[in-house]
Copies of this chain bind each other. A is one copy, B any other.
Amino acid sequence: MTSLWCERPVGIVGLGLIGGSLGLDLRARGTEVRALVHREATAARARERGLADAVSTEAEVLRECGLIVLALPLDRLLEPDAALRQALPAQAVVTDVGSVKQPVLERWQGWHPRFVASHPMAGTAQAGVEAGLEGLFAGRPWVATPAAGTDPEALTAVRQLAEAVGADWLTCDAAAHDQAVALISHMPVLVSAALLQTAELGGAAADAAALVRRLASSGFADTSRIGGGNPELGALMARCNRPAVLQALARYRHQLEALEALVQNEAWGSLQDALSHCQALRPEFL
């Protein structure tokens, strides 16, 4: 019988937005947190902020942990340091927080016997050791994507972790997850970025560069928000979820071209019907 995760320290690898927020929430409820970070300056600041009980740049800090959360950027998660992999105790439950699940699952289930692929769907525009904040996960989905070989007790432990910080637990297939987040998160970043580029270039071409900037209002601000977000993260999501992002983009292009054809053909009734459908549809996504 395995110990529940909360009876032993929780390890967190990386104290950025997700790792730092998790550390704060777990400590607030009395769980001991031990963290591994890359740089000594980060460790010092993390200690000042109280993100974990112990913070080190040495992987042995994780030795006593019963559950370890890899709160690393996707690229470092997919190509981890050898020292990190070696330092993970075989009996510990290991999970990640990456926004793409298939490639993570494929690698890590071969690397660690008690790995659970998971993805807390929470975030702000901030990153780094200053970004972590309490309550980030409350009421937000925390998705796990168990595979045939996933240890059921390990899965339960990760669920307990997610629920301990107030997240809304669900599980689904890794491929379905990656397609879903491509549709509602990764592809929209590119859709939104192209809007900013178009407003810039179209404004310049119309000799209205200042005018487009002055007239842009809250609608444009909302539509362009994620396109103007963290560029490293946007590129990394496209890179790590490339097949699903390309599929979503192809589907998107098809839909937009259909709307364009309605305008081209002056099919105003059909255009209004399409927009009415969108108006009715949107609340399902809120």
Which residues 212-238 in A have Cβ within 8 Å of B in the complex? 212-217, 219-232, 234-235, 238
A251 touches B (CB below 8 Å): yes
In the complex, the answer to whether B223 meets A223 with C-beta atoms within 8 Å is: yes
B residues less than 8 Å from A189 (CB atoms) = 219, 275
Which residues 266-286 in A have Cβ within 8 Å of B in the complex? 266, 268, 271-279, 281-286
A196 touches B (CB below 8 Å): yes
Q: Which of A170, A172, A190, A207 has its CB near the most chain B CB atoms (within 10 A)?
A: A190
- Of A55-63, A79-87, A130-138, A197-205, the stretch lying at the interface with chain B is A197-205
In the complex, the answer to whether A198 meets B263 with C-beta atoms within 8 Å is: no
Given the interface pairs A181-B215, A220-B285, A278-B196, the reply to whether A176 lies near B208 with Cβ below 8 Å is yes
In the complex, the answer to whether B272 meets A235 with C-beta atoms within 8 Å is: yes
Which residues 149-189 in A have Cβ within 8 Å of B in the complex? 170, 172, 175-177, 179-185, 187-189
Given the interface pairs A211-B180, A275-B231, A279-B230, the reply to whether A191 lies near B195 with Cβ below 8 Å is yes
A256 touches B (CB below 8 Å): yes
In the complex, the answer to whether A216 meets B285 with C-beta atoms within 8 Å is: yes
Given the interface pairs A268-B235, A279-B230, the reply to whether A185 lies near B217 with Cβ below 8 Å is yes
A143 touches B (CB below 8 Å): yes
Distance of A110 from chain B, by nearest CB (Å): 24
Q: What's the Cα separation between A224 and B283 when bound, in Å?
A: 10
In the complex, the answer to whether A183 meets B170 with C-beta atoms within 8 Å is: no
Distance of A223 from chain B, by nearest CB (Å): 5
- Of A1-9, A88-96, A239-247, the stretch lying at the interface with chain B is A239-247
B residues less than 8 Å from A230 (CB atoms) = 279
In the complex, the answer to whether B198 meets A248 with C-beta atoms within 8 Å is: yes
Which residues 84-135 in A have Cβ within 8 Å of B in the complex? 121, 123
In the complex, the answer to whether B183 meets A188 with C-beta atoms within 8 Å is: no
B residues less than 8 Å from A121 (CB atoms) = 215, 217
Q: List 8 A-B contacts (CB under 8 A).
A: A140-B217, A170-B214, A222-B226, A228-B283, A234-B272, A238-B263, A239-B266, A246-B263
In the complex, the answer to whether A221 meets B259 with C-beta atoms within 8 Å is: no
Q: What's the Cα separation between A152 and B193 when bound, in Å?
A: 41
